């Protein structure tokens, strides 16, 4: 079901990019990339019941890896995307030995802190551009065709289709059921023979693979990255996407990413008209309020309401 | 070399005293509600911004400082009533996300009210820097250290020598049994937010003359407060004090010896090491609450 719907979504995207203005095509790409990150995050948070407040860091690691290889060594972004996913996975693997020993409150704190440490590394490491970031990142090419906005949208959503198909198969396998068992109670799951530590680590690494691949495409599409692109606020945004769509839902990730990106655009255009003094990251006020309101009123996300409606 | 090292330590002590105040707020809320309040740093920001804005508008510095602490307390009360209390039946992760939402919402709100420009606040007392064994402390340092002494002494007296303080300790030790003895847990949760916000606000007011106040100072300050609280042990108020000073000094010495950009990184490295090697912190109890 996930595979077929994903394919339909890809076809729809591939069709509408021909009529959308290029600005909106760019947004569509962004939605796809964020959805990819959120799918990974939902596996880790929604299914395995853990917390990550540092997911933007893996997105950043993917972006920086691909961009650095492309700018410094002239390596094609296609390979860069794979390398970005691998390096993000390695970083997640290394960090998992620290972070995954903790739960809830302390896990949230640790992932938040690790995310910021990685951002400090982006800022301080001059080889990858330091505070000024990397410019003129080469784009994806096929033969002599250099990707335009349309091609990026199709690439991003092709990955969403693959990503959601893979994650969909995963959550319906014994792997996914074990994750749900862990979130219901780790000790109980262990007693039933679930290798909770190993499964949590694999899921954490997988979520980093999703984020890393998405980040690599982001770097080439934006052609410019700096440390502020991968700040704590982006991690909060990923959490918001997860929560809005529903933590334990893969389609929720797509819905959440769409809602948050669309909301960001609306706020950016409407608020300055109403309140001319608004500048900077003022959207964070609305993001925070919506996050709180969602958690109080609809803690299992929009998709929970949709599936209830379908059952009724 | 030694002289500059000593100076880093002194600067670290001043910062550390502020971190200790923010950390005290974390510990209070964590002890009473079992919740890590990610918005704690924003209370300090509200304190700093309110004081600086009022003083810029012409109010005497000390009066502005007093009102700013009250404002932070009111914000803390509103946060509890509007966001935490309606979700009190939720699980841990949901509450974490809610305080995270409070954090970004308060930061955005500050941006609406005060804009992006940093506001400055005069030091509370004029005078020369205080020389100390070849180093120098800014005059503001006395106010900072003084407020640490007052806050921690007041908390100590409250918890050890008042009836209400004993009741809070009972509630922390065993909520269901305390509840059967008529101890109002929910009221305590409310007041833990109010007091934590006031203490955080005081920290913000104190640091404003040193670093000036900006809408986005809360995150950094809050994270430093977390590190200090975890370092000292999340359930220990003396630990918050010790953790604050240790963190302040280590950050400044490391920042001074290498480069200031790494300061925050060093703080978090400490956090991660503590979480892994000694999750109960320096002064915390070995058993952790479920």
* A145-202 pLDDT per residue, tens: 888 888 899 899 999 999 999 999 998 998 888 888 888 888 888 888 888 888 999 9
CB contact under 8 A, B104 and A285: yes
pLDDT at residue B1, as a whole number: 60
| Domain presence at residue A282 | no
Q: Is A117 on the interface with B (CB under 8 A)?
A: yes
Q: Which domain holds residue A96?
A: 2-234
Total domain count, chain A: 1
Residue B288: which pLDDT band, with cuts at 50, 70 and 90?
very low
| Domain presence at residue B287 | no
Q: Can you give the three-state secondary structure of chain A, one letter per residue?
A: CHHHHHHHHHHHHHHHCCCCCHHHHHHHHHHHHHHHHHHHHHHHHHHCCCCCCCHHHHHHHHHHHHHHHHHHHCCCHHHHHHHHHHHHHHHHHHHHHHHCCCCHHHHHHHHHHHHHHHHHHHHHCHHHCHHHCECCCCCCEECCEECCHHHHHHHHHHHHHHHHHHHHHHHCCHHHHHHHHHHHCHHHHHHCCCCHHHHHHHHHHHHHHHHHHHHHHHHHHHCCECHHHHCHHHHHHHHHHHHHHCCCCHHHHHHHHHHHHHHHHHHHHHHHHHCCCCCCCCHHHHHHHHHHHHHHHCCCCHHHHHHHHHHC
Q: What percent of chain A has pLDDT over 90?
A: 33
Residues 202-231 of B with CB under 8 A from A: 215-216, 219, 223, 226-227, 230
| Domain presence at residue A49 | yes
- The tens digit of pLDDT for each residue in B191-202 reads 999 999 999 999
| Domain presence at residue A74 | yes
| Domain presence at residue A240 | no
Q: Is A120 on the interface with B (CB under 8 A)?
A: yes
| Domain presence at residue A308 | no
- The tens digit of pLDDT for each residue in A254-263 reads 999 999 999 8
**Residue B133 C-alpha, separation from nearest chain A C-alpha, in angstroms:** 34
Above 70 in pLDDT, residue A310? no
Q: Counting one residue from A and one from B, how many pairs have CB atoms under 8 Å apart?
A: 143
CB contact under 8 A, B116 and A117: no
Above 80 in pLDDT, residue A9? yes
Total domain count, chain B: 1
- The tens digit of pLDDT for each residue in B5-46 reads 788 888 888 889 999 999 999 899 988 888 888 899 999 999
Residue A311: which pLDDT band, with cuts at 50, 70 and 90?
low
| Domain presence at residue A268 | no
- The tens digit of pLDDT for each residue in A68-100 reads 998 888 888 899 999 999 999 999 999 888 888
**Residue A280 C-alpha, separation from nearest chain B C-alpha, in angstroms:** 7
pLDDT at residue A216, as a whole number: 94
Above 90 in pLDDT, residue B271? no
Q: Which residues of B261-287 are buried (b: 16+ CB within 10 A; e: fewer)?
A: ebbbbbbbbbbbebbeeebbbbbbeee
- Other Cβ atoms less than 10 A from the Cβ of A147: the count is 18
| Domain presence at residue B285 | no
pLDDT at residue B70, as a whole number: 95
Q: Is A184 on the interface with B (CB under 8 A)?
A: no
| Domain presence at residue B286 | no
Q: Which residues of A touch B220 (CB under 8 A)?
A: none
Q: What's the pTM?
A: 0.87
pLDDT at residue A183, as a whole number: 86
Q: Is A183 on the interface with B (CB under 8 A)?
A: no
Residue A312: which pLDDT band, with cuts at 50, 70 and 90?
low
Chain B residue nearest residue A290, CA to CA: B101
Disruptive mutation site among A100, A291, A293 for chain B (greatest number of B CBs within 10 Å): A291
pLDDT at residue A241, as a whole number: 92
Q: Which domain holds residue B237?
A: 2-277
- The tens digit of pLDDT for each residue in B72-120 reads 999 999 999 998 888 878 877 888 899 999 998 998 888 888 887 888 7
| Domain presence at residue A276 | no
Average pLDDT value for chain A: 87
CATH number, position B59: 1.10.3470
What ipTM did this prediction achieve?
0.84
């Amino acid at each position: 079901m996930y595979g077929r719907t994903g394919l339909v979504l890809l076809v729809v995207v591939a069709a509408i990019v021909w009529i959308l203005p290029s600005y909106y095509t760019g947004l569509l790409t962004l939605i796809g990339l964020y959805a990819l990150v959120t799918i990974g995050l939902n596996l880790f948070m929604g299914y395995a019941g853990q917390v990550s407040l540092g997911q933007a860091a893996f997105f950043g690691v993917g972006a920086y890896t691909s961009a650095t290889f492309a700018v410094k060594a002239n390596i094609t972004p296609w390979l860069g995307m794979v390398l970005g996913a691998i390096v993000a996975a390695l970083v997640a693997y290394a960090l998992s030995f620290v972070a995954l020993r903790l739960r809830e409150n302390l896990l949230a704190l640790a992932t938040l802190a690790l995310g910021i440490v990685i951002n400090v590394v982006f800022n301080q490491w001059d080889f990858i551009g330091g505070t000024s970031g990397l410019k003129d990142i080469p784009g994806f090419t096929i033969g002599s065709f250099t990707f335009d906005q349309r091609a990026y949208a199709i690439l991003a959503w092709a990955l969403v289709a693959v990503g959601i198909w893979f994650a969909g198969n995963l959550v319906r396998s014994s792997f996914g059921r074990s994750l749900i068992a862990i979130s219901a109670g780790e000790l109980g799951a262990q007693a039933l023979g679930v290798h909770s530590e190993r499964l949590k680590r694999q899921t954490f690494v997988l979520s980093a693979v999703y984020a890393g691949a998405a980040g690599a495409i982001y770097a080439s599409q934006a052609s410019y990255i700096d440390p502020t692109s991968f700040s704590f606020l982006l991690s909060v945004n990923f959490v918001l996407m997860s929560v809005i769509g529903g933590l334990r839902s893969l389609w929720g990730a797509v819905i959440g990413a769409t809602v948050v990106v669309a909301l960001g655009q609306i706020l950016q255009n409407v608020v300055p008209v109403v309140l001319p003094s608004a500048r900077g990251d003022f959207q964070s006020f609305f993001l925070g309020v919506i996050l709180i309101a969602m958690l109080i009123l609809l803690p299992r996300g929009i998709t929970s309401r949709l599936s209830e409606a379908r059952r009724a | 070399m030694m002289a500059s090292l000593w100076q880093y330590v002194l600067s670290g002590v001043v910062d550390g005293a502020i971190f200790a105040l923010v950390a005290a707020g974390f510990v209070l809320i964590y002890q009473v509600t079992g919740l890590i309040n990610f918005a704690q740093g924003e209370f300090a920001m509200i304190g700093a911004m309110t004081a600086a804005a009022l003083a810029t508008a012409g109010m005497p510095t000390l009066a502005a400082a007093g009102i700013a602490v009250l404002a932070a307390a009111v914000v803390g009360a509103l946060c509890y009533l509007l966001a935490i209390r309606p979700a009190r039946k939720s699980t841990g992760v949901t509450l974490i996300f809610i305080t995270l939402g409070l954090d970004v919402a308060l930061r955005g709100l500050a941006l609406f009210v005060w804009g992006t420009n940093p506001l400055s606040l005069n030091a509370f007392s004029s005078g020369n820097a205080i020389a100390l064994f070849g180093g120098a402390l800014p005059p503001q340092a006395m106010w900072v250290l003084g407020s640490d002494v007052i806050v921690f002494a007041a908390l100590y007296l409250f918890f050890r020598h008042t009836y209400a303080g004993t009741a809070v300790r009972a509630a922390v030790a065993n909520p269901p049994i305390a509840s059967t003895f008529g101890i109002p847990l929910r009221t305590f949760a409310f007041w833990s937010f109010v007091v934590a916000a006031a203490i955080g606000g005081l920290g913000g007011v104190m640091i404003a003359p040193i670093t000036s106040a900006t809408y986005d100072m809360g995150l950094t300050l809050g994270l430093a407060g977390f590190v200090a609280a975890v370092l000292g042990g999340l359930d220990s108020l003396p630990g918050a004090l010790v953790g604050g000073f240790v963190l302040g000094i280590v950050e400044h010495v490391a920042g001074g010896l290498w480069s200031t950009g790494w300061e925050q990184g060093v703080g978090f490295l400490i956090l991660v090491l503590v979480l892994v090697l000694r999750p109960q912190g320096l002064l915390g109890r070995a058993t952790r609450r479920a």
